[in-house]
């Protein structure tokens, strides 16, 4: 699915493995200790190699980690990108402990970092929907609306945003919510 925005900007929903798709910046679903893990985090470090963790070691020493809802940038090692943006999503409790705002902040801080690093294409996983347990429908609405708001704004530096969904079920949830809530959407026959 491909959704058009002003100035030729696009949001694309794609089924795939985020470590295999070429963009300027890949977003990782990290933890606040920046210590690596499973899921996207494991895949990013496996495919990117040890240079990424070496850089995170330095950030941990100087800043102590990364708060929930925020993001730090490193190089991308052997990944097909220039940068990895390590975004720390919230662990879902009941949705009443600031989780929606923290999740939206992950997407916002990544798009802010994109502006500072000259990133034109960026790929996001469905942050917090794995180990961190965020209900998929709610997380999808927050991700899509936060990204769409930014792609509509006059000063958006990013041209292409890819939301990489790991399986067909996750893709279907996001596609349905995008069609219902994001205007000017059109299906391009993907996946
Ligand atoms: N590409 C795209 N999506 C992926 C990939 C991949 N290679 N691997 C997993 N996913 C999907 C999952 O299916 C899920 O929908 O990404 C989503 C996020 O899942 P997690 O990686 O578990 O991320 P999150 O829920 O934010 O939990 C973060 O898990 O691995 C640890 O260190 C990480 O502590 C942190 C926590």
For 78, the domain range is 2-187
Tell me the pTM. 0.96
Q: Looking at ligand 1, which residue's alpha carbon is closest to its atom 3?
A: 166
Number of domains in the chain: 1
List Cβ neighbours of 187 (8 Å cut-off, separation of 6 or more).
Answer: 1, 2, 175, 179
Give the residue, out of 60, 130, 191, with the most ligand 1 atoms within 8 A of its beta carbon, to mutate for a pocket test: 130
Concerning whether 94 is annotated as a catalytic residue, the answer is: no
Confidence of residue 188 (pLDDT cuts 50, 70, 90): very low
For residue 122, the domain's CATH number is 3.40.220.10
Task: Return the residue whose CA atom lies nearest to atom 11 of ligand 1.
Answer: 166
Residue 75 has a pLDDT of 98
| Beta bridge partners of residue 84, listed in sequence order | 26, 74
Share of the chain above pLDDT 70, in %: 96
């Amino acid at each position: 699915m491909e959704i058009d925005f002003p100035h030729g900007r696009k949001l694309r929903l794609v089924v795939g493995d985020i470590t295999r798709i070429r963009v300027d910046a890949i977003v990782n679903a990290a933890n606040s200790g920046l210590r690596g893990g499973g899921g996207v985090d494991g895949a990013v470090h496996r495919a990117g190699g040890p240079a990424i963790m070496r850089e995170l070691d330095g950030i941990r020493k100087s800043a102590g980690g990364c708060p929930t809802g925020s993001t730090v940038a490193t190089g991308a090692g052997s990944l097909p990108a220039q940068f990895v943006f390590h975004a720390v999503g919230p662990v879902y409790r009941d949705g009443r402990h600031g989780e929606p705002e923290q999740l939206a902040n992950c997407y916002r801080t990544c798009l802010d970092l994109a502006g500072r690093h000259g990133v034109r294409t960026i790929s996001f996983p469905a942050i917090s929907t794995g180990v961190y347990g965020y209900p998929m429908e709610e997380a999808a609405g927050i991700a899509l609306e936060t990204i769409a708001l930014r792609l509509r704004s006059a000063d958006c530096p990013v041209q292409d945003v890819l939301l990489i969904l790991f399986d067909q079920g996750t893709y279907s949830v996001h596609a349905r919510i995008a069609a219902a809530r994001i205007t000017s959407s059109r299906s391009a026959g993907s996946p």
